[in-house]
Amino acid sequence: MEEQIKSALDNVRPSLQADGGDVEFVSLAEDGTVSLKLTGACGCCPHAQMTLKNGIENYLKEKIPGVTAVLGV
């Protein structure tokens, strides 16, 4: 499942990079929780949590059964 997540993040990455940011995969817990790190402009953006929850988490849950949540680290 980790490889599926990394591949899906490659689809999200261009949107983040267009705003000067990026996303890094950190870990996958047994319960399906994915830990990610937003970097660049996204790392200090006041909307970072919204990007993680409403954007990336929803996308990963839709594309990969078994993903239960996304956490920012």
User: How is 5-62 classified by DSSP, letter by letter?
Assistant: HHHHHHHHHHHHHHTTEEEEEEEE-TTSEEEEEEEEGGGS-TTHHHIIIIIIIHHHHH
Q: pLDDT higher for 65 or 43?
A: 65
Residue 45's pLDDT band, with cuts at 50, 70 and 90, is confident
Q: 7-25 pLDDT, tens per residue?
A: 999 999 999 999 899 999 9
Mean pLDDT of the chain: 94
Domains of the chain, with CATH numbers? 2-72 (3.30.300.130)
Q: State residue 13's pLDDT score.
A: 95
Predicted TM-score of the model (pTM): 0.91
